[in-house]
């Protein structure tokens, strides 16, 4: 099991190279944010970028392309699914759920999705990704994310943060000290917390893993966990 996890970490950069190829189709949508307090995304394979919008609307752009093998030898197909794909929008109880919808008679398992989503900065955002990359910046309404294999990069001004990855890396930065309970946990791997540039928190080595706990005087909580991988968190503020 551990050997397989290490192999996945080795293959992640190769997968990232495939994800940066140009999409063969791009879909866009603009959704009024009135009555919406949170946005959640579901992605199988791909890359997600979330940033603040310049107005009171949710702006969505999704690029699609068939996935290649890690070595670029063959295509996993998905052309028919891409041609008929639509952005699925479902709103209930103030939560806007976004995902891609493909026809039932097509195979979308090998389609890479490149999401770029702009939301009002005070909105809560969450994302579930099977394999890929997540990048969030400028969001102060709170962040949640779950990835099976991949990397999450966060740079936020404030707000609660909860990120969990099975195999991968978390790099997070928050420009505030308005945090209460802060916990970092890597079952296999390293975890590091820096506050205003200085190493901080109670560090505990647990066999092949690392746990860091820190109690601040603010109200927001941070929880960053990986089964196998690395965590780095920087808190900067007064």
Domain that holds residue 66: 2-235
Q: Is 168 in contact with 229 (CB distance < 8 Å)?
A: yes
State the pLDDT at residue 74: 37
Note the pLDDT tens digit of each residue in 23-49: 689 999 999 988 999 999 999 999 999
Above pLDDT 90, what percent of the chain? 74
Q: 182 burial class (0-12, 13-18, 19+ CB within 10 angstroms)?
A: buried
Q: How many separate domains does the chain show?
A: 1
- The answer to whether residues 64 and 23 touch, using CB atoms and an 8 Å cutoff, is yes
Q: pTM of the full predicted structure?
A: 0.86
């Amino acid at each position: 099991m551990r050997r397989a996890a290490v192999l996945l970490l080795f293959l992640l950069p190769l997968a990232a190279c495939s994800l940066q190829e140009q999409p063969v189709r791009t879909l866009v949508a603009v959704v009024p944010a009135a009555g919406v307090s949170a946005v959640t995304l579901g992605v199988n394979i791909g890359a997600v970028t979330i940033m603040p919008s310049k107005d009171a609307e949710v702006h969505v752009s999704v690029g699609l392309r068939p996935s290649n093998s890690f070595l670029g030898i063959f295509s996993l197909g998905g052309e028919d699914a891409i041609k008929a794909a639509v952005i699925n929008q479902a709103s209930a109880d103030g939560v806007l759920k976004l995902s891609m919808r493909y026809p039932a008679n097509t195979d979308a398992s090998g389609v890479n999705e490149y999401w770029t989503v702009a939301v009002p900065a005070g909105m809560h955002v969450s994302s579930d990704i099977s394999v890929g990359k997540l990048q969030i910046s400028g969001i102060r309404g709170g962040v949640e994310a779950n990835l099976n294999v991949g990397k999450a990069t966060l740079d936020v001004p404030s707000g609660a943060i909860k990120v969990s990855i099975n195999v991968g890396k978390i790099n997070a930065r928050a420009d505030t000290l308005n945090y209460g309970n802060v916990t970092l946990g890597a079952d296999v791997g390293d975890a590091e917390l820096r506050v205003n540039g200085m190493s901080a928190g109670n560090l505990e080595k647990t066999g092949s893993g690392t746990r860091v706990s820190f109690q601040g005087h603010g109200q927001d909580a941070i929880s960053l966990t990986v089964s196998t991988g690395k965590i780095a968190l920087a808190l900067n503020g007064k």
